[in-house]
Amino acid sequence: MTTESTATPDAEGGPDYDVIVVGAGLGGIYAVSRFVKDGLSVFGVEAGADVGGVWYHNRYPGARVDVESYFYSYFDEDLYREWQWNERYPTQPEILRYLNFAADRLDVRRHFRFSTWMTGAQWHPQTNSYTVTTDTGLSVTARYLVMTSGQLSKPRKPNFAGIDDFEGEWYQTSQWPERGVDFAGQRVGVIGTGSSGVQTISAIAPQAGELVVFQRTANYTIPAVNGALDQQRYRQIAEAVDETWGEMLAHPGGALTPLPTRAAFDYTDTERAEVLEKRWAYGGHAMNAVFTDQGTNMASNDIVSEFVRSKIRQLVDDPETAQILSPVDYPIGSRRLCVCSGYYETFNRENVSLVDIKNDPIVRITPTGVQTESGHVDLDVLVFAIGFDAFTGALDNANVANEHGSHPSDSWKRGPRTYLGLMTTGFPNLFIVTGPGSPSVLINFFAGNVQHIDFVADLISYMTAHEYTRVEPDLRAQDAWTQHVADVSSKLLRLNVENYMVHVNRDDNTRVFMPYAGGLSAYIARCDEIVASGYEGFVFDETIESALTGASLGLQADSVVVGS
Ligand code: NAP
């Protein structure tokens, strides 16, 4: 098997590889291992210098996952039994060690080219294959292209006016330098208070001379209630790996967190207060699951939102700071909950202050700090925790073209259009793992990635058995799934709140909720039906004429209108 090639796609003997896997994060590691196990030849490409994906790049102080470690794992018996997490919510260094351990044990590293950027992929209909090119000059062909490049992996650029004039150092949480950063005695500013921001703020505060937090939107931030791993629970799961995995796949979130059992007003006042405290004590995303109707009924949601605000008032000494930190203009859970360790208490420190940039916007970055409308903040170091170009960023970066020169998101201008979040019409043999239209960022990424990759691997086996070499979704199946994704989210309070999961068409304010909100269990049930029916909705070895031009896809895209 060659790993470098200049072969043309129509060279005799077919493509160089069966599959090209893009990205060596937790999905890419599993994908390579599964495809190799299935007897396929695999070429992996990864921009980072080693495995890890987002956990390779997001090595900012305080980074840790907000899924419990019992479930943030591959459910392979050997791997599960050999590994030992330390904490209930593992840190980035521990997760990176785990992914290295898994990559070694699954022997996937040798299939990857590291420090290699994919610069493009071109589909060839004559040979039913892609040519992938890289910034290192490789040109590799394969039958299938599997994007495990993540949905939250293309960092948003900090394009603040004046940033080039800043004379101090500046960093992004999503591209943190391996050498680390010494904050001792420094005046540090953090811009952004999402999941990354709240974690790094709590971690930088004790190290810095002074820390100034620039908050645009207050988030509901829930203490993780982290602690040492419950060894007994871990061992119990290790003895029942397959059974637990089955339970996880039957859970809407792909991790065995508590689910709500009753609507808010089915409880008495006393019971409601108890259940709220119980969820707060459990910590993290459990606060999204207090009442069955909190995601759709504003009155129910108000109870949870106000409960969290009351906790913020208890935790933050200064009432004015507590007020700025309290989200008041949107319901809890309508933007992703942030999970923290001591975030609100950080604002009780002498060396920490908060700037409310919603009311006092940043005008520009200056050579010596940040100029807001009301004044100047002197800083030595700036940290941007401003998020990602979610869902489409990494795919756009990969520059995948069909025979008409179209790219997947050319037809997604009014919101993504996919079949199961896995494929998009007009791009044969291209698989998007955890893409828009799948449960994606709403669930445990281990569950989502492994389920998707197993589905793709089974589909490829089916094609091999039937001697098919080309697959793409039928346009009607894609339209129906896209409509279903829209229907499922149409009653969600979160559809009407600005956040990275909602695509907004600015011309008419129509909104598309990008992930599938029906839960992992419902998603898998549909996948199973599709497999049982002989891959209904997928078209094999046929050219879908109606889907071949960007224009026809664009027309169809206009037809999905959510929330209007
Ligand atoms: P994010 O949730 O998109 O938050 C970005 C933050 O930057 C927001 O506070 C945003 O304010 C602010 N911001 C963006 N542009 C700005 C600008 N021009 N001026 C001022 N403020 C600006 O990004 P993230 O924190 O990196 O998290 C993204 C996702 O990654 C999370 O939702 C989660 O899925 C994942 N993640 C998970 C963990 C974990 O497992 N614990 C940790 C980190 C990240 P606005 O809200 O006003 O836009």
pLDDT tens-place string over residues 483-535: 999 999 999 999 999 999 999 999 999 999 999 999 999 999 999 999 999 99
Structure confidence at residue 543 (pLDDT): 73
CA-closest residue to ligand 1 atom 17: 386
Q: How confident is the model at residue 70 (pLDDT cuts 50, 70, 90)?
A: very high
- Residue from 156, 195, 334, 494 to probe ligand 1 pocket by mutation (most atoms less than 8 Å from CB): 195
**Ligand 1 atom, smallest distance to 500 CA:** 3
Burial class (CB in 10 A: 0-12, 13-18, 19+), 86: exposed
The long-range contacts involving 345-348, CB below 8 angstroms and separated by at least 24 positions, are 345/315, 345/316, 346/201, 346/202, 346/205, 347/213, 347/316, 347/317, 347/318, 347/321, 348/316, 348/317, 348/318
| Ligand 1 atom closest to 195 (CA) | 25
Tell me, in angstroms, the distance from the centre of ligand 1 to residue 117's CA.
25
Q: What is the pLDDT of residues 136-164, one digit of tens each?
A: 999 999 999 999 999 998 999 999 999 99
Written as one string, the DSSP assignment of 464-530 is HHHT---EEE-HHHHHHHHHHHHHHHTT-GGGGS-STTEEEETTTTEEEE-S-TT-HHHHHHHHHHH
**The pLDDT of residue 14:** 82
Single out the residue of 25, 50, 81 nearest to residue 448, CA to CA.
25
Phi, psi of 495, deg, nearest 5: -65, -30
Q: Residue 8: pLDDT band by 50, 70, 90 thresholds?
A: very low
Nearest ligand 1 atom to the CA of 357 is 20
Rounded to whole angstroms, the Cα distance separating 241 from 120 reads 39
The percentage of residues in the chain with a pLDDT greater than 70, rounded to a whole number, is 94
CA separation for the pair 135, 122 (Å, rounded): 15
> What are 84-111's pLDDT values in tens digits?
999 999 999 999 999 999 999 999 999 9
Mean pLDDT of 55-77: 97
Residue 295 CB neighbours (<10 A): 22
Name the phi and psi angles at 199, rounded to 5. -70, -45
What's the CA-to-centroid distance between 196 and ligand 1, angstroms? Answer: 6
Ligand 1, residue 358: give the atom nearest the CA: 47
Residue 551 — very low, low, confident or very high, per pLDDT cuts 50/70/90?
very low
Of all protein residues, the one whose alpha carbon is nearest to atom 33 of ligand 1 is 195
Quote the pLDDT of residue 12. Answer: 54
Q: How far is the CA of 499 from the centre of ligand 1 (A)?
A: 9
Distance, first Cα to last Cα, the chain: 53
Backbone angles phi, psi at 88, to 5 degrees: -65, -40
488 Cα: distance to centroid of ligand 1 (angstroms)? 25
**Tens digits of residue pLDDT in 243-258:** 999 999 999 999 999 9
Lining ligand 1 with CB less than 6 A are 65-66, 152, 191-197, 199, 216-217, 336, 339, 357, 385-388, 441, 500
What number does the ligand 1 atom closest to the CA of 158 have? 18
Nearest CA to ligand 1 atom 31: 195
pLDDT confidence bin for 555, thresholds 50/70/90: very low
Ramachandran region of residue 245, left (φ > 0), alpha (ψ -120 to 50) or beta?
alpha
Burial class of residue 3, CB neighbours in 10 A (0-12, 13-18, 19+): middle
Two structure tokens written together for 266? 């089915």
- Expressed in angstroms and rounded, the spacing between residue 385 Cα and the centre of ligand 1 is 6
Ligand 1 centroid–CA 388 distance in Å is 7
DSSP H helical segments within 250-352, as ranges? Answer: 269-282, 298-315, 319-325, 343-346
Residue 338 CA: nearest ligand 1 atom is 41
Please tell me the distance between residue 80's alpha carbon and the centre of ligand 1 in angstroms: 31
**Which protein residue has the closest C-alpha to ligand 1 atom 4?**
194
The Cα–Cα gap between 320 and 277 comes to 25
Give the contacts of 1 (CB within 8 A, at least 6 positions apart).
17, 41
- Tokens encoding 124: 């060839």
Q: What is the C-alpha to C-alpha distance for residues 520 and 248, in angstroms, rounded to an integer?
A: 9
Q: Whose CA is nearest to atom 35 of ligand 1?
A: 195
Shortest-distance atom of ligand 1 to CA 65:
40
Q: How far, in Å, is the centroid of ligand 1 from the Cα of 91?
A: 18
Please write the tens of the pLDDT for every residue from 257-276.
999 999 999 999 999 999 99
Lowest mean pLDDT among 6-10, 15-19, 445-449: 6-10
Atom of ligand 1 nearest to the CA of 386: 7
Residues in the chain: 564
Q: List strand residue ranges (DSSP E) for 391-470, in order.
A: 400-401, 430-432
User: Across residues 27-34, what is the average pLDDT?
Assistant: 98
Q: Which atom number of ligand 1 is nearest to the Cα of residue 64?
A: 41
Return the pLDDT at 494: 93
CB 427 within 8 A of CB 547: no
- Chain Cα centroid distance, residue 237: 26
CA distance 186 to 171: 14
- Residue having the nearest C-alpha atom to atom 45 of ligand 1: 217
Which among 430, 428, 406 is positioned nearest to 553, based on CA atoms? Answer: 406
> Measuring from atom 10 of ligand 1, which residue has the nearest CA?
192
Look at residue 563 and tell me whether its pLDDT is greater than 80.
no
Structure tokens at 415: 């919101």
CB 103 within 8 A of CB 24: yes
Neighbouring residues of 20: CB distance < 8 A, sequence distance ≥ 6: 42, 43, 44, 45, 121, 130, 132, 140, 142, 144, 145, 146
Q: Which of 173, 216, 434 to mutate to test the pocket of ligand 1 (most atoms within 8 A of CB)?
A: 216
Beta strands in 65-192 (DSSP E): 112-113, 118-124, 129-134, 139-147, 169-172, 187-191
What is the chain's mean pLDDT, rounded? 93
Q: How confident is the model at residue 546 (pLDDT cuts 50, 70, 90)?
A: very low
| Structure tokens, 235 | 């061992």
Question: Which residue has the CA at smallest separation from atom 40 of ligand 1?
Answer: 65
Residue ranges of domains in the chain, CATH in brackets: 17-154+390-470 (3.50.50.60), 187-384 (no CATH)
Looking at the predicted structure, is the pLDDT value of residue 359 above 60?
Answer: yes
Residue-wise pLDDT tens digits, 464-474: 999 999 999 99
At residue 559, what is the residue type?
A: S
Residue 3 confidence class, pLDDT cut points 50, 70, 90: very low
The contacts found for 349-353 with CB under 8 angstroms, 24 or more apart, are: 349/205, 349/206, 349/211, 351/205, 351/208, 351/209, 351/210, 351/211, 352/201, 352/205, 352/210, 352/211, 352/212, 352/213, 353/210, 353/211, 353/212, 353/213
CA 244 from centroid of its chain's CA atoms: 23
What's the farthest any 2 CA atoms get from each other in the chain?
75
| Three-state SS at 209 | coil
pTM of the model: 0.93
Spatial contact of 501 and 489, defined as CB atoms under 8 Å apart = no
